[in-house]
Amino acid sequence: MAQAGSHSAAGQMTGYLYQCELALLELAERSWDDATIEVRMELLDDIEFLDPETHTPLELLQSKHREAAGPLSETGKDFWRSVASWIDALKTLADPLAATMPLLRLVSTQVAPTDTFFHLLRSGPDRDVRKALTRMEEIAADTNGPGGTAKDRALFLALAPERRYQLVNAMIVHDGAPVMSDLNLSLAKELGITPSGHAQAALDAIKGWWYRMAVELLERKNPQRMRASVSAQELACMRDEVLHRYAEKDLPITESLRNLTETEIAGYEGRLVVSQMRWIDLPDVEIAMHLRSYHYARAQRSAWLRTFKITSERLEEYEQELHYEWERTFRRHTRRLRDHTSGTERQDVGQQVLDDTMDKVADKPARRGSTTAAWIGHGTIHSLADQVDTMRPDRALGWHPDYTDLCKQREEQDQ
């Protein structure tokens, strides 16, 4: 374990964590006005906000965290390294001289003194790009300036005059940002978490989700585990899900549970979900009843995902919970079967598994702390019964005691 002192990396680690949580804070702020905006990290800059259609940067953000705030220094490494980083990042854009140059933001916990170019580059009535540029050029050209920033300052001066102006014109200094220890208050406010007994639990739930997203955003070695970006809409969906969970609000039901037409029922003929019910000799009228739940539950889940009422992660958990109830029921009814048990008896056991499973899953909520219509659980468990022949053995389920063998026979016949 690292010891506190000259070799401690605590400040650097805090800076990384701050960058991650600042990205969440910035995305939360944008989610109220533009849910389509997307964020990514550590590609062109610390944090980037993207155009959802072109996936090109609208904003490049450098985050600088100093626990002991103090003033921003015009000759400091934090700023000039940011300038060099922006110059390098802009070289990768297709048309760096285009009018749609991304915004370049420096977010720092330090404060911009009034007599510095930092103050001139803040948003507001005192902003003066020309004066800021002149002062920056003076600082950059000073041969007595710190050696640690000499290369970065030289890189800035090497730009053509019009390019320097364009670069500085795109800069925004956001000083006095909250330090890491105060960030939770800002996050709770922007996420709409009101003070209550569950406020910290709600914030922890959202931050836990966000850190998982951050790991995927930073993944570089395994493309299958990497996320290109996270949208404000995804965050808004998770925020609503968490807040509804603690407020005990139900998911909206937008599908009406009407009887299926004969044509709609016929459309399911040949599907595994129907075969599963025929293997236990279920009457056609009951098959039609179960297909109705299957049909509308599938449509309702799609609507929730499409309108960002629930996350795919929560639906995955919901399916796991239903699968657990089926497994307990299946094991209880089939553990005493023997090889000589007749086919009719096995079908009877399968019907008991189906009926008892439906009773068990009826009360399982799709969103924790809420109430979900029983047919959502019924239809969702049938959707799992329709997927036994996929590559998800952990989700395999069926009603007949020998459903695995029957599924294999079905696959062989289809080949």
| Cα separation values, 346 from 327, 385, 397, Å | 17, 18, 16
Q: Is residue 249 part of a domain?
A: no
Answer with the one of 192, 216, 244 that is the final residue of a domain: 244
User: Which amino acid appears at position 280 of this protein?
Assistant: I
CA distance 188 to 391: 41
DSSP label at 32? T
CA distance 398 to 404: 8
Are 271 and 389 spatial neighbours (Cβ–Cβ below 8 Å)? Answer: no
pLDDT value of position 232? 95
Q: Are residues 233 and 335 in the same domain?
A: no
Q: Is residue 268 part of a domain?
A: yes
pLDDT value of position 295? 97
Q: Are residues 180 and 308 in the same domain?
A: no
CA distance 105 to 19: 13
pLDDT value of position 95? 54
- Residue 34 in tokens: 């533009």
DSSP β-ladder status, 230-231 and 47-50: unpaired
Burial string for 364-391 (b: 16+ CB within 10 Å, else e) reads: bbbbbeeebbebbbbbbbbbbbbbbeee
Are 253 and 366 spatial neighbours (Cβ–Cβ below 8 Å)? Answer: no
Answer with the one of 218, 244, 270 that is the final residue of a domain: 244
% helix / strand / coil in the chain, to the nearest 5?
A: 55, 5, 40
Q: Please, is 29 exposed, middle or buried when counting C-beta atoms within 10 Å of its C-beta (0-12, 13-18, 19+)? A: middle
Are 75 and 146 spatial neighbours (Cβ–Cβ below 8 Å)? Answer: yes
Q: Are residues 199 and 281 in the same domain?
A: no
Per the confidence metrics, is the pTM higher than 0.85? no
DSSP label at 93? S
Q: Are residues 69 and 215 in the same domain?
A: yes
pLDDT value of position 248? 59
pLDDT value of position 3? 45
Give the DSSP H or E segment for 289.
Answer: helix 284-306
Q: Are residues 339 and 406 in the same domain?
A: yes
Q: Which residue, among 286, 399, 280, 282, has the nearest Cα to 344 in the 3D structure?
A: 280
For 51, the domain range is: 10-244
Q: Are residues 90 and 44 in the same domain?
A: yes
pLDDT value of position 371? 84
Burial string for 151-190 (b: 16+ CB within 10 Å, else e) reads: ebbeebeeeeeeebebbbebbebbbebbbeeebbebbbeb
Q: Is residue 43 part of a domain?
A: yes
Residue ranges for the chain with pLDDT beneath 70: 1-9, 94-100, 248, 388-393, 415
Q: Are residues 45 and 181 in the same domain?
A: yes
Q: Are residues 74 and 45 in the same domain?
A: yes
pLDDT value of position 155? 96
Q: Are residues 37 and 181 in the same domain?
A: yes
Answer with the one of 244, 270, 297 that is the final residue of a domain: 244
Q: Is residue 333 part of a domain?
A: yes
Residues 6+ apart with CB under 8 A from 82: 62, 64, 106
Q: Are residues 222 and 270 in the same domain?
A: no
Q: Are residues 87 and 137 in the same domain?
A: yes
Q: Are residues 276 and 318 in the same domain?
A: yes
Residues 6+ apart with CB under 8 A from 118: 72, 74, 79, 112, 173, 175
User: Considering its fold, how many domains does the chain have in total?
Assistant: 2
Q: Is residue 155 part of a domain?
A: yes
